[in-house]
């Protein structure tokens, strides 16, 4: 293993780091207002789209933390994802004040493309 690969593996955030970051970051968010039809779910981990968006935010957070530019993280990254995450039509939109199981939420169906399909 090269030094660069070893260094990358050592610096990679763990699942625990990610969970801790979500909990700490969301605890500081004051802009989600239920009266303005904005939604959050305490079981955020049960929403696949939300997990992917939060993970992307976490990755950018780590980059900005190391390189500077936290203001742009808020404006360019958090605010953009927050518009989707907390919206009525976002991943938490059907949860209201309690979690709604996946089977009851709307999801997009996907079919396998035909074998002759290409991009």
pLDDT at 9: 53
Q: Is the pTM of this model over 0.85?
A: no
User: Within its chain, how far is the Cα of 85 from the centroid?
Assistant: 8
**Predicted confidence (pLDDT) per residue in 28-60, tens digit:** 887 777 777 788 888 999 999 999 999 999 999
- CA-closest candidate to residue 90, choices 43, 35, 56, 53: 53
| Maximal CA-CA distance, the chain | 54
**Predicted confidence (pLDDT) per residue in 53-72, tens digit:** 999 999 999 999 999 989 99
- CA-closest candidate to residue 44, choices 67, 21, 14: 21
């Amino acid at each position: 293993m090269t030094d660069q690969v070893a260094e990358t593996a050592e610096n990679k955030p763990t699942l625990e780091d990610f969970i801790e970051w979500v909990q700490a970051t969301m605890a500081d968010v004051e802009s989600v207002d239920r009266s303005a039809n904005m939604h959050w779910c305490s079981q955020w981990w049960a929403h696949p789209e939300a997990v992917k968006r939060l993970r992307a935010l976490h990755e950018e957070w780590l980059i900005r933390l190391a390189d500077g530019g936290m203001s742009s993280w808020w404006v360019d990254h958090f605010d953009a994802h927050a518009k989707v995450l907390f919206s009525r039509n976002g991943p938490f939109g059907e949860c209201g004040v309690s979690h709604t199981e996946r089977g009851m939420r709307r999801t997009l169906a996907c079919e396998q493309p035909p074998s002759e399909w290409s991009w």
